Structure formats: C-alpha cells, structure tokens
Amino acid sequence: MDFFREANEAFVDEKYEEALKLYSSAIDADPTVAEYHVKRAQTYTKLEKFGDAEADGQKACELDSTNHKAFLRKGIAQFHLKKYKEALETLKTGSSLNETDTAFKQWIDRCAEKVPPDPAPAQTAKQVATMSNQEPVKAVDPIPEPPKERQRFDWYQTETHVIITIMIKGCKKENVDIRYNQRTFSATIRLPSGSDYSLELDLSHPVVPTHCFTRILSTKVECKLKKEEAIRWNKLEGEDTFASAAPKGSVDAANKYPSSSHHTRNWDKIAKQIEEEDKEEDKGVNGLFQKLYGDGSDEVRKAMNKSFVESGGTVLSTNWEDIGKKKTEMKAPDGMEWKNYEI
C-alpha cells in the first residue's frame, strides 16, 4: 500500500485528519525519508498543531540538511508558536539553500516585523545598584489564549483566474494580511476572538502576483489569483501532472468547481442566470408601476407622487381621497425601524 501517495491525495482533498494518519503510516514504514516528515509537518500546520509541526520539521532537517522545504515548514511552525527569533534563523538557513523560493522572503519579512529591536546598552554599576534597592516586581501569570477557530475555504477557477474564498465574516481591512507569490499563497486574518486564522498553500501552478487582488466582503474574504497560463487546474496544491489547456471559447470546461462529486456546476453560468433573473424581476415590478401610472387618472398620479415623496419611498398609494387629506407617514419594512439622518 502506497501510504505517501494516498496521503498526498487526501491532503489535496483537504481531508487533513486522514492525511495525517496516512503520513504517519508512511513514516512508520520508513522513518528515514525526510519528505514524509516535511509533508506531515505541513499537515500538522493545517490542523494548527504547531508544536508537532515544528518537531517534524526538525526531524526532516536532521535527515536531510539540504531539504529547503524542511526548514520552511519548521520556520512557519515556529512563527505560529511565537518563537519569532528562532523562526527567523531557521528561515534564513532554508533560504540560503534555495534562493528562488519566494515563500522564504515572505515569512522572513513577517518574522522581522515581530522580532524586537536589539537590547539597550549594558547598565552602569550605579544603575544596577539603584535597581537592586527597588522592590521586586511580582510575576503575572500569562493569560491563556482562546482556542483557535477552524475556518473553511473553497476555491474555483475560470479560464484566466483561480478564486480562493475564505469563509470568515466581518473582517476588517487592517486585520487581513494576504500575500501572493508565484507558487505560494498566504493569508493571516485576525479573528474577532483575538486569535489568528492562517492559511498557507503551495500552489500547483504559477500565478502572476502583480495581477492578483483581494476583496474583503461582509461574509467572506475573496482572493483572485491571475493564472500565468490559461490551463485548467485539477488541484489547488501539490503537483498537478494532469493539467490541461482550457479550450478557447469554452467557459464551461474551465469554470467548473473542483469536486470529487460526479455532478459538477458551472458557477459563472449560475451567477449569470441569477443576475438575469434579478433583472427580469426588476423589470416586471417597474413595468407594473409604469403601467399603473401611465393608465391612471390625474388623481391616481397625484396620489402616487405625493405618497412616494412624503414617505421617503416607503409608501406608494393610488387612493387620492385618502392620501390628499394628510401627510403620508414613513413606513419602514417589517422588522426594521425608520430613523432620520442627522448631519
């Protein structure tokens, strides 16, 4: 049984618990293969078990000191464990092994932002004596961090782009850090609970970082990656040896949501259908009002104009006998409250 191959397939399908078991089986069968530990470290990171990820990264470095990915996985785990100084050294070592892997620069920059500045110069003997006479400061117990929330992301593709959607609501722009590289994608989002959500992907195909962009919406964070080549991706992560050129003029072939299900959907087509339905619905409602106004008497038209204007667009009446006697009150929809805007 090829545990490693099956583990890679489970990992790509986002079945991280299953992948972890299979990588562990591969390691039990042959614990001397550094790549097995590298991939299990990555899986531990996905499961936010950063201590185990660091241990596997360390083991991989010991087994193969030339494997730059081992240092990358170890460094990322140390970053999440807030061992910023150690992470910086680990990542610098890995970067020296492969200077073309842009993921190292990204993580080195993030560590550099967290590493405190050099300590102040040594104190004089007089300062030390003064401090020794002061009462010792009582140690304060650290506040335990709240458990991290598991978040889910989805992805789909068009002929020219890959779209990654992170399902987190109410994100603020200053709390979202998205970084695009040619073969890697990284997202760090500060959650309302105060903890961080992290997503790191080794992309199966290159993208154009300068043409990627992020949209922060009320219900999600949408990341749009520009494909370097117009090919259909069969996987988001890992090696994709079965990628094929997207047929020109065939949007259907390129825009299917990746899924193990035999039933696929063209999301662009569905979105277009919904848009057309909305247009038809608006057209039908507006057409009805236009017909009422056009076919109505002068009193009907006056009633419609007066009620609409006085109510701030919340009431539309054709009964002039009732509307003409008094000012039309504003009527908010059910479950809502009307408030005047004050400058």
CB atoms within 10 A of CB 269: 13
More confident site: 323 or 273: 323
Across the range 49-70, mean pLDDT stands at 92
Residues with Cβ within 8 Å of residue 185, at least 6 apart in sequence: 164, 178, 179, 199, 200, 201, 203, 207, 223, 225
Give tens-digit pLDDT for 179-198. 998 888 988 888 877 778 88
Q: Which of 189-203, 208-222, 231-245 has the lowest mean pLDDT?
A: 231-245
Q: Which of 4-18, 163-177, 252-266 has the lowest mean pLDDT?
A: 252-266
More confident site: 127 or 70: 70
User: Strands 196-202 and 244-245, how do they pair?
Assistant: unpaired
Place of tokens 């009002």: 289
Which amino acid, one-letter code, is at 176? V
What CA–CA distance (Å, rounded) separates 123 from 134?
A: 15
Q: Which of 3-12, 165-174, 212-221, 306-315 has the lowest mean pLDDT?
A: 306-315
Report pLDDT for 208: 93
Place of tokens 């550094």: 34
Residues with Cβ within 8 Å of residue 250, at least 6 apart in sequence: none
What CA–CA distance (Å, rounded) separates 15 from 156?
A: 18
In the chain, the percentage of residues whose pLDDT exceeds 90 is 27
Across the range 155-170, mean pLDDT stands at 90
In the chain, the percentage of residues whose pLDDT exceeds 70 is 73
The model carries a pTM of: 0.49
Range from 127-131, 230-234, 238-242, 339-343 that averages highest in pLDDT: 230-234
**Burial classification of residue 61, based on how many CB atoms lie within 10 Å of its CB (0-12 exposed, 13-18 middle, 19 or more buried):** buried
User: Strands 196-202 and 184-190, how do they pair?
Assistant: antiparallel
